[in-house]
Amino acid sequence: SQQGEEDPQALSIQEGENATMNCSYKTSINNLQWYRQNSGRGLVHLILIRSNEREKHSGRLRVTLDTSKKSSSLLITASRAADTASYFCATGTQGGSEKLVFGKGTKLTVNP
């Protein structure tokens, strides 16, 4: 079963605008990760936030985590056409080795 649920399912914005995607999950986690998938390709890891962290930055990416609400958000600032992709959150629940459970994803389209 899938742990994370991304919202919205689809998002269309203009180049230069910010894009915000949300992820909700159900059970306790060790960490939450965001991945990007370009059409027809494999997933690429973007950023990881641990359960004891509240916010993390990496370049134009900003991730927040609220464990009390079991939710996370991914903000992409100053979006580019090359950011067009599907974005997935994955919850890591460590029980010997990291178990990664993915949500259904947000399809982001950045229009030039």
Partner 1 sequence: EAGVAQSPRYKIIEKRQSVAFWCNPISGHATLYWYQQILGQGPKLLIQFQNNGVVDDSQLPKDRFSAERLKGVDSTLKIQPAKLEDSAVYLCASSLKAEAFFGQGTRLTVV
Residue 83 or 88: the one with the smaller Cβ distance to partner 1 is 88
Closest CA to 92 of 39, 59, 45: 45
Closest separation between CB of residue 83 and partner 1, Å? 19
Residue 20 or 37: the one with the smaller Cβ distance to partner 1 is 37
Residue 45 or 54: the one with the smaller Cβ distance to partner 1 is 45
Closest separation between CB of residue 27 and partner 1, Å? 14
Closest separation between CB of residue 81 and partner 1, Å? 22
Asked whether the bond before 8 is cis by omega within 30 degrees of 0, the reply is yes
Closest CA to 74 of 97, 47, 41: 47
Residue 15 or 48: the one with the smaller Cβ distance to partner 1 is 48
Contact positions toward partner 1, by CB under 8 A? 1-2, 4, 30-31, 33, 35, 40-45, 48, 88, 90, 92, 94-105
Let me know: does 110 contact 79? Beta carbons within 8 Å: yes
